[in-house]
Amino acid sequence: MSSSTEITIVGAGPYGLSIAAHLKHLGLGFRIVGSPMHTWRTHMPKGMHLKSAGLSATLFDPERKFSLKDYCRQHGLPYEDEGLPISLELFTQYGMAFQQRFAPQLEEAKLVSLQKLREGFELTLDNGERFTSGKVVLAVGIDYFRYVPAPLKSLHSEHYSHSAEHHDLAKFAGKDVAIIGSGSSAIDMAVLLNEVGARPTLVARRKTLNFNQKEGRTRGMLSRLLAPMSGLGPGWKNLLCASAPGLFRYLPDQARIRITKDFLGPSGAWFIQERLDKVPVMLGQRLFSASSTQDKASLYFVDASDKISELEVDHVVAATGYKADLGSISFLSPEIRLQMRTIGNTPRLSANFESSVPGIYFAGPSTANNFGPLMRFALGAGYTSRKLTRHLFQTTDERGNVAGRPQAAVSSQYQP
């Protein structure tokens, strides 16, 4: 056993880094392990632009002095709150600068095992290090939850992949590629593959593809009244989800699970719609079978009138998203998994993001069944980091003991 620490953050995406910035400000000791902005640097396609507007594409420092807008202003880069797409490269660069500034001590390592001790937890990293931590914040993102439709699993492994496996698409130039899905990542993937010289076909179960609307400063008073703008887009429902994630917990379980799943269904970004015109699209097609020959994959689809179609390609990309499931987080010990209460296969959390295993906290998309769809987006890191770190401050003393700090100390030092 090499060392012990009071708090460990696992994960260095928008959530982990925003939490780190808040803990640093509060003067609490912590370690942070992960690969900075890893999902954005490696699991999203080069050339992509975020669907989120500039206003929502940001990380959170407690003084709100280093938003994406501040970063762009400091570097003389073009920026608009809405209406100007944010490139993946820009958002990644900004996230890396945020990490340098607020979490320079980040340790590039992966947690491979988390065990419960009588007091606190034992963490084992992929570099062999073992240490104990009083509390652990799991901000590990979505990558454990990749979803691939069952029929694709009967293909040779080199004939299919999940969209998250691809950053540089140039390797597909000259190849026939089927992209399965109807959401933003499927549409982006199809367009970007076409633009690197591949021959993509987009195939979706839905009968239509949806695109979000371009928002700008030009909306009239009535339009703004009927559909006020929020970080999740226009509309009262969006505004409520964006501004009151704490209230979401009071809804019945089934309603929470349904809203989180259905909210802002699959849609592409407004700025990509025209570029999709050059890509063949097959809609209303349900994939029911797939088979591999030596060098090709054959896909079989059925439509609403039971007509069967076949598509032969070099490769299939499942841009079919993610299904959050606690059981897929491989580093959790069986004991922790058994003790953890769930809501829709994800951890059931207190108002402070603590799971039913005291001392283990979750942050990010896996918390959406508790705090609503806001948590599926980087934007949710604002509420999460304020709420979670204030709680950690109140319940952790300098030695890492779970003890109360006087409330007065909390209010005098930190008011989220």
Ligand X SMILES: Cc1cc2nc3c(=O)[nH]c(=O)nc-3n(C[C@H](O)[C@H](O)[C@H](O)COP(=O)(O)OP(=O)(O)OC[C@H]3O[C@@H](n4cnc5c(N)ncnc54)[C@H](O)[C@@H]3O)c2cc1C
Which residues sit at the interface with ligand X, rule CB under 6 A?
Answer: 10-16, 33-35, 38-39, 44, 50-52, 57, 110-111, 139-143, 185, 331, 364-365, 377-379
For residue 20, the minimal CB distance to ligand X (Å) is 11
35 vs 298 by CB, closer to ligand X: 35
Decide whether 40 or 301 has the Cβ nearer to ligand X.
Answer: 40
Local structure of residue 344 (DSSP, 8 states): T
Nearer to ligand X by Cβ, of 124 and 394: the residue is 124
Of 268 and 364, the one with the shorter C-beta distance to ligand X is 364
Min dist. Cβ of residue 47 to ligand X (A): 12
Angle, CA of 140, 381 and 100, to the nearest 5° = 75
**CA torsion sign, 227 to 232 to 237 to 242?**
negative
Structure tokens at 388: 């979670």
**Residue ranges with strand state E in 65-120:** 111-116
CB 403 → ligand X: shortest distance, Å?
28
Closest CA to 142 of 380, 329, 341: 329
Least gap, CB of 412 to ligand X (angstroms): 30
Q: Centre a 10 Å sphere on the Cβ of residue 146 and count the other Cβ atoms it contains.
A: 18
Tokens describing residue 386: 């304020």
Q: Whose Cβ is closer to ligand X: residue 16's or residue 311's?
A: 16
For the chain, the first-to-last Cα distance in angstroms comes to 36
| Collapsed DSSP state (helix, strand, coil) of residue 391 | helix
Tokens of 205: 């179960």
Smallest gap from residue 409 Cβ to ligand X (A):
29
Do strands 297-302 and 308-313 pair parallel, antiparallel, or not at all (unpaired)? Answer: antiparallel
Query: Around 108, how many Cα atoms within 13 Å sit in the side-chain half-sphere?
Result: 7
- CB closer to ligand X, 248 vs 377: 377
Nearer to ligand X, 128 or 406 (CB): 128
| Residue 140 CB, nearest approach to ligand X (Å) | 4
Task: Compute the least distance from the CB of residue 190 to ligand X, in Å.
Answer: 13
CB nearer ligand X, residue 272 or residue 313 = 272
Half-sphere exposure of 165 (CA within 13 A, CB side): 17
User: Closest separation between CB of residue 350 and ligand X, Å?
Assistant: 19
Per the document, the length of the chain is: 416
Supply 227's token pair.
Answer: 């559909």
Report d(CA 391, CA 342) in Å as an integer.
21
